[in-house]
Amino acid sequence: MGKNKYFSTKSVFGQLISLIDDSMIQKSVKKHDSDRYVKHFKCQDHLFSMIFCCLEKCNSLREVSSGMLGLSGKEETVRINHLPKKSTLSDANKSRKVEFFEEIYNKLLEKYSFVLSDSRVEIALEKKVKIVDSTTISLFKDVLKCVGRKPSNGKSKGGIKSHSVINADEKVPNLVWFTAATTHDHQFLEKLKCDENTVYIFDKGYNDYKAFEHFTQQKTGFVTRIKENAKYEVTQKNIIPEKIHSGVLSDEIIEVEVDKEGTKGKLKLRKIKYYDREHKRTFEFISNLFEFRADTIAALYKIRWQIELLFKQIKQNFPLKYFLGDNENAIKIQIYCVLIVNLLMGVIKKSLKRQWSFSNLVSFCRIHLFNYIHLTKFLESPEKDWELDPKSNGQLGLFDDYLATG
């Protein structure tokens, strides 16, 4: 590494948070009135401090406050006005509105959707495919009511369940809902918007015939697995075309009973039995998509596994094992900040021509967080020396080529 080569006037941390506009923050603050009665540690300071926490994988308030001391005298370069003390950050996590962080996440998703989106699935099906799933984050305190059982030692190991919806073409959550870990998954289906151009994919934990009937009435598609103990009546067996050689074993029309305020009705669904050669397992799917080929429905469910990879990616790379507070508000803020950082790293990864694994990309940023390396130029050609571009002014020019050609 030669002297004054491939450097930026901003640190890697400064370049990452430059993806979040000041105007975006100020509009969100004004909308939720989240800086009211706050003199020093305002929303922008809080947001960037929590982003630092996620990037450095801090496990305590002390780690965040002491780690950010490295920014003393350099606050302006990272748009922070007040570095947090341990007690200040604790109070902010407890009292500041979660809606501010949720708003920032949604605004970022809206702004960078053109980078994150891969519309091949949507184009092929002429429908928007959305994946629904949940993950439980273990907690060792009874943060939410009824979050878990109390073992003999008296300690309550419970959890908070994060339900997420991701567009199959974006691979980042666009709807997040929190419940106690003991809350049944199917209640989340009530939060979903029905649209005749949308297909929802979820696992069998979300089975709810009333919800399936509502989807069908609203012309909203779904694909899920049928429960082993499900009761149904086969009304028709469809012929599997010879051209389908993709593991489809059977394709049937079935009827299930739906309870409607004391009366029972019938709901027509499609059941497909499928053998997955890769996993050497047989699956049975149910759906209200009668116009699709049987192997297409099986392929749709395979897309659901993307969200499992997303949860694994988030839990491996960001701090969701230890929380900075034992109250519900602090936990939700930390989860939203993890999602924000995951989105920002996804934007950078998708904008690079060079292939980087997500974990390696996060590790690189973590190691060089306060180094003055031009992030995208270095990541494109890490073996090459780069000189400072006097025109860049330290900005992370992720989309310069896109804007020049578009």
- The pLDDT of residue 172 is 80
Domain membership flag for residue 311: no
- Show Cβ contacts of residue 119 under 8 Å, excluding neighbours closer than 6 positions: 169
Angle between the 86-95 and 43-56 helix axes, to the nearest 10 degrees? Answer: 110
- The pLDDT of residue 326 is 78
- The pLDDT of residue 236 is 94
Contact status, residue 240 vs residue 250, Cβ threshold 8 Å: yes
**Measured in Å, how far apart are the chain's first and last C-alpha atoms?**
35
- The pLDDT of residue 241 is 78
- Could you give phi then psi for residue 308, rounded to 5 degrees? -65, -40
Domain membership flag for residue 284: yes
Contact status, residue 164 vs residue 149, Cβ threshold 8 Å: no
The C-alpha torsion from 205 through 206 and 209 to 211, rounded to 10°, is 170
- The pLDDT of residue 287 is 96
Contact status, residue 272 vs residue 323, Cβ threshold 8 Å: no
Contact status, residue 325 vs residue 313, Cβ threshold 8 Å: no
Domain membership flag for residue 179: no
Q: Which position has the token pair 């739906």?
A: 258
Pull the structure tokens for residue 27.
């509009």
* d(C-alpha 37, C-alpha 203), whole Å: 45
Domain membership flag for residue 228: yes
Where in the sequence is the domain holding 250, given as residue range(s)? 203-303
Pull the structure tokens for residue 315.
């839990």
Domain membership flag for residue 274: yes
* d(C-alpha 171, C-alpha 117), whole Å: 8
- The pLDDT of residue 406 is 46
Q: Which of 323, 333, 334 is nearest to 158 (CA)?
A: 323
pTM across the whole model: 0.76
pLDDT along the chain (406 residues), means of 10: 62 93 94 90 94 92 90 80 92 94 93 75 70 74 41 52 83 80 79 89 89 93 92 92 76 91 87 88 94 89 80 84 83 92 93 92 93 89 61 54 46
Tally the domains of the chain.
1
Sign of the CA dihedral with 74 first, then 77, 78, and 83 last: positive
- The pLDDT of residue 393 is 56
Using alpha carbons only, what angle is made at residue 75 by residues 90 and 54, rounded to the nearest 5 degrees?
45
Domain membership flag for residue 286: yes
Domain membership flag for residue 44: no
- The pLDDT of residue 392 is 55
Helical H segments across 33-112, by residue range = 43-56, 61-67, 86-95, 98-111
Sign of the CA dihedral with 241 first, then 245, 246, and 250 last: positive
Distances in Å between the Cα of 325 and the Cα atoms of 48, 269, 273, 306, 331 are 17, 46, 46, 30, 7
* d(C-alpha 224, C-alpha 242), whole Å: 25
Domain membership flag for residue 193: no
* d(C-alpha 336, C-alpha 154), whole Å: 31
